[in-house]
Every structure is written in C-alpha cells, then in structure tokens.
Amino acid sequence: MATEYSEQDILKGLGEIIEEIVGTEASEVTPEKNFVDDLDIDSLSMVEIAVAAQDKFDVEIPDDQLKDLKTVQDVVTFIQK
Amino acid sequence: MFHVPSTPGGASIRAFGEYQPSNVVTNADLEKRVETSDEWIQSRVGIRERRIAGPDDTVASMAIAAGGKALATGGMSPEDIDLVIVATCTVQDQIPNTAATVAAALGISAPGAFDVNAACAGFCYALGLASDAVRAGSARNVLVIGSEKLSEWVDWDDRSTCVIFADGAGAAVVSASEEHGIGPVVWGSSGERADKIFLREGKYLYQEGQAVFRWTTTELYKVALEALERAGVEPSELTAFVPHQANLRIVESIARKLGAPRALVARDIVTAGNTSSASIPLALSRMVERGELPSGSIVLTLGFGAGLVYAAQVIRVP
C-alpha cells in the first residue's frame, strides 16, 4: 500500500526539490504560487521537478497530466490523490 | 562451409574532419524573425549561435567537405577507402543515395556506399557498423560521415524549433588496427514513442519537448553506462563525454548521472546548434583541433533522436 503523505510533508518535500533544481528558496514554495509566473520555473525544469517528486513520493506524474499542474497546490493535490 | 577471412584485429578511428557553413545566425538574428530572446534561447537550449547552410551547401557537399578533411587529417588517399557510410535524415532526394555521390566526388573508386537513417543517433550507428565491418574483414578503411541540413526541415516561423536546429557535417576514418579502439556499440529503440519527434505536415520538424526531455534525462545515462561496462572502461577513466548536442540542459543532465566528474563534457551546441547526426563528429573534430582531446583520450559518445532510437560506444582518440 502506498504511503500517505500529509499536505505539510508534500510542501516541505517540494520545497526541497525546487530549491535543489532551480535554486529558489524552499520557503518561497507556498501553495498559491504559480510555477511559471511566481517561481519562474520553465517547462523543462517542471519535468525535472516531476521526476524528482515521483521518486520522493512514489507517484507517477505523466507529461500529459503535468501540463495541468499550474500551482504548487495543484501538485500537492495530485500527489495526495 | 564457405571461405571467410579470418580477421583477429581491431578497428580504430584514424582521424576526424568537419565542415560548417560560413553563415552564422545569432540569437539576435532570430529575435528579428520570431518572438524570442537571447536570454530565453540560452536558458532553454544553451545555444548562442548556429551555422545555417547557404544556397550551395547540400547534405552531400557538406559530407564531401567533412570527409575530405578527415582523409587529409589521417594522411590517407582516396584509394585507401573501401567503404563509405553517410548518416543523414535530412537529405531531400532519397534516390540516389548520398554515400555513392560523396565517394565519387572524393575520388574514392568503387567503394561500398550506403546511407543510414538513425536520426540524431546516426553517427553512432554508422560508427558501430564501420567498426564491425572492419573487424569482420568486410572493409579495411571506412569513411563514416554524419551530414545534416536541418534548416530545410524547420518552420522558420515556429519559435519552439527554429532556435534549435542547424546545419553541418562531421566525419571519421575507421581503420583496421591491432588493438580495439572502438568499443562495442550499445544500441536500441523505442518505436512505441515514434510520435514524440516527427515531421509535422510531412515537412516541419516537431518534438514534444517535455517528453523528449524526460526520456533523455531519465533513461539514456543507463545506455551510456552500459557502453562503458561493455568496453571495460570505468567512468573515472573517461577523458570526455561527447553526447548528441540536442540541448545543453540535456547534455549536462546526462553528464551529471555518469559519475565521471573529471570528464570534459562537449558543449559544442553553444556555437554549432543541434545538427542531428553531425553533432557528435563535429564536436569531436573541433575538440581535437582545439587540443582538448590528446591522442589516446578515451571518449564516450551517446546518440539519441527520432524513432526513438539511441546508441553509444567508447572510442579512443587517434
């Protein structure tokens, strides 16, 4: 059975991943932030973040779903589902 | 049952050559044509400028120039060559093939001559075939060329592709040698993902950027590591890593996963753009010319592209 992660766990994990990949401080990674407009993350970095999140949270984030994940909250919700 | 030659020897690269069109197209030039910026192009694909063919540059003419330079560098005369392989996926006329035309123009008399289409992996496939042909006794000296005129297959109003692709050719001479200077080729394909890179409307190169990026940055380092293992080379022994110059971020991402922090990583894309099957020999030839790869250097190549197809091998620099 897959591990269940709390919203706080996922936010913390995403913050670490994003800091590692694009250098944005983890504290900036809050639910309402839009990846492109607020965090200045491009489409290729989104793939790297998705791949890292897949490993960390044991989920599959395919490219056709990735394009619908616009905000940090979208990713949190996707991983929780 | 039949008589076949016994050839215990190896195959090695004797020389490289390359050709680039003289026409330099900078990011500033592209800003005038499509809505883009130098900053955007450099951060997404890592290209500052690229070479685009002039009206007289064809896949064959660029192959002839690169091949001629490789022969000259290797101190070889045309009659030494008995097989010519041209890797290309951008030739306009499929008939006749390009290799025979190139051979004749170089004064090579009646060699075996064929083209290979393995897209951006074409040079690694052709090099593998050349090495096998020499080791099996089917040829003594093979001229292997990657030549591409991608500018004819680009929609120059499409800012997602016209900033990436470019033109050029690179070549290598593969000769019989006592030792093995070319490691076993590791090649494969993933045809179920043929729709990730294709010709839109049958004439314009198109790729699903995110899917290609994910494929290249998560799967291909394993192919590269397998090529090292098959050749009995440790990552720490590598002088350089010369992958297909697809996108600088892909190049650097794969390089980080090899566990070879001291290896020089080819960044030819910065000034040459993505030249498909020409990119690896073009980069190798330029790196050798700049003195970055001294004789005896051990280099890992990795080609990958439309198909999807991929191939990798280890080579020793002449």
Give residue-wise pLDDT tens across range B10-32. Answer: 999 999 999 999 999 999 999 99
Q: Is residue B167 part of a domain?
A: yes
pLDDT band at B4 (very low <50, low <70, confident <90, very high): confident
Query: Complex ipTM above 0.90?
Result: no
Is A1 part of any domain?
no
B247 found inside a domain: yes
Q: Tell me the pLDDT band of A81, cut-offs 50, 70 and 90.
A: confident
Q: Write out the residues of chain A at the interface with chain B, using a CB-CB cutoff of 8 A.
A: 42-44, 46-48, 50-51, 63, 66-67
CA distance B265 to B177: 27
Q: Which of B89, B120, B124, B162 is catalytic?
A: B120
The predicted pLDDT at position B308 comes to: 97
Active site residue A42: yes
Within-domain flag for B237: yes
Sheet (strand B264-265) strand order: B186-189, B309-316, B298-305, B240-243, B264-265
- Alpha-carbon span B153 to B170, nearest angstrom: 19
**Assigned domain for B68 exists:** yes
Q: Does the annotation mark B274 as catalytic? A: yes
Cα B89–Cα B87–Cα B94 angle in degrees, nearest 5: 50
Q: Within this chain, do residues B153 and B15 fall inside the same structural domain, yes or no?
A: yes
Chain A to chain B Cβ contacts (< 8 Å): 26
Query: Please, what sign has the CA dihedral across residues B215, B216, B219, B220?
Result: positive
Domain final residue pick, B177, B197, B217 = B177
Residue A70: give its domain's CATH number.
1.10.1200.10
* Residues B173 and B192 grouped into a single domain: no
Identify the residue whose tokens are 């060329």: B145
**Per-residue confidence band for A5, with pLDDT thresholds at 50, 70 and 90:** confident
- In one-letter notation, the amino acid at residue B166 is A
Q: Is residue A2 part of a domain?
A: no
B141 and B57, same domain (yes or no):
yes
Number of domains chain B contains: 2
Q: Is B133 inside any structural domain?
A: yes
In B, residues 24-53, which contact A (CB 8 Å cutoff)? Answer: 43-44
Give domain status of residue A76, yes or no. Answer: yes
- DSSP letter string over B33-72? TSS--HHHHHHHT--SEEE---TT--HHHHHHHHHHHHHH
Dihedral sign from CA coordinates of B213, B219, B221, B226: negative
* B208 shares its domain with B172: no
Distance from CA of A38 to the nearest CA of B (A): 17
pLDDT at B168: 98
pLDDT digits (tens, 9 = 90+) for B57-99: 999 999 999 999 999 999 999 999 999 999 999 998 899 999 9
Would you call A63 and B214 a contact, using CB atoms and an 8 Å cutoff? yes
Q: Are residues B52 and B171 in the same domain?
A: yes
pLDDT (average), residues B253-263: 94
Pairing status of strand B141-149 against strand B83-87? parallel
B213 close to A (CB below 8 A): yes
Q: CA of A63 to nearest chain B CA: how many angstroms apart?
A: 6
**Whole domain around residue A29: which residue ranges?**
7-80
Q: Which one-letter DSSP state was computed for residue A27?
A: G
Compute the mean pLDDT over every residue in chain B, rounded to the nearest whole number: 96
Could B210 and A47 be called an inter-chain contact, meaning their C-beta atoms sit closer than 8 Å?
A: yes
Q: Are residues B102 and B215 in the same domain?
A: no
What is the 8-class DSSP label of residue A42? -
Tens-place pLDDT, residues A8-44: 999 999 999 999 999 999 999 999 999 999 999 999 9
Q: Do residues B83 and B23 share a domain?
A: yes
Q: Is the pLDDT of residue B235 over 90?
A: yes
Rounded mean pLDDT, B223-244: 97
Same domain assignment for residues B152 and B244: no
**B215 to chain A: nearest residue by CA?**
A47
Residue A74 lies in a domain: yes
- End-of-domain residue from the set B117, B146, B177: B177
The whole-number average pLDDT for the span B23-46 is 95
At residue A80 the predicted structure's pLDDT band, cuts being 50, 70 and 90, is confident
From B177, B195, B216, give the residue that closes a domain: B177
pLDDT at B7: 73
A-chain residue closest to B40, CA distance = A42
**pTM for the predicted model, two decimal places:** 0.94
The first and second tokens of residue B153, run together, are 């297959």
Which residues form the domain of B118? 10-177
Between B43, B218, B249, which is nearest A51 by CB?
A: B218
Decide if B3 is inside a domain: no
Chain B residues touching residue A43 (CB < 8 angstroms): 209-210
β-strands B24-26, B186-189 pairing:
unpaired
Look up the CATH number of the domain holding residue B67: 3.40.47.10
Whether residue B1 has pLDDT greater than 90: no
Domain contains B288: yes
Asked whether the beta carbons of residue A42 and residue B249 sit closer than 8 angstroms, the reply is no
pLDDT for position B5: 75
Q: Are residues B85 and B61 in the same domain?
A: yes
For B249, which residue in chain A has the nearest alpha carbon? Answer: A44
d(Cα B158, Cα B177) in Å, to the nearest integer?
A: 47
**pLDDT of residue B44 exceeding 60:** yes
- Average pLDDT in the B245-272 region? 96
pLDDT for A1 beyond 60 = no
B117-128 pLDDT, tens digit per residue, is: 999 999 999 999
Give the mean pLDDT of B280-287.
Answer: 98
Residue of A nearest to B41 (CA): A42
Kindly state the tokens that stand for B87: 């890797």
Structural domain contains residue B2: no
On whether residue A42 sits in a domain, the answer given is: yes
DSSP state letters, chain B: ---------EEEEEEEEEE--S-EEEHHHHHTTSS--HHHHHHHT--SEEE---TT--HHHHHHHHHHHHHHHTT--GGG--EEEEE-S--S--SS-HHHHHHHHTT--S-EEEEE--GGGHHHHHHHHHHHHHHHTS-SEEEEEEEEEGGGGS-TT-TTTTTTB-EEEEEEEEEEESS--BPPPEEEE-GGGGGGEEEETTTEEEE-HHHHHHHHHHTHHHHHHHHHHHHT--GGG-SEEEE--S-HHHHHHHHHTTT-TTSEE--THHHH-B-GGGHHHHHHHHHHHTTSS-TT-EEEEEEEETTTEEEEEEEE--
Average pLDDT over residues B245-271: 96
Q: Say whether A42 and B253 touch across the interface (CB within 8 A).
A: no
Best CA proximity match to B287, nearest among B239, B247, B252:
B239
| Interchain pair A63, B208: CB under 8 A | yes
pLDDT in the model for residue B227: 98
Is the pLDDT reported for residue B162 higher than 60?
A: yes
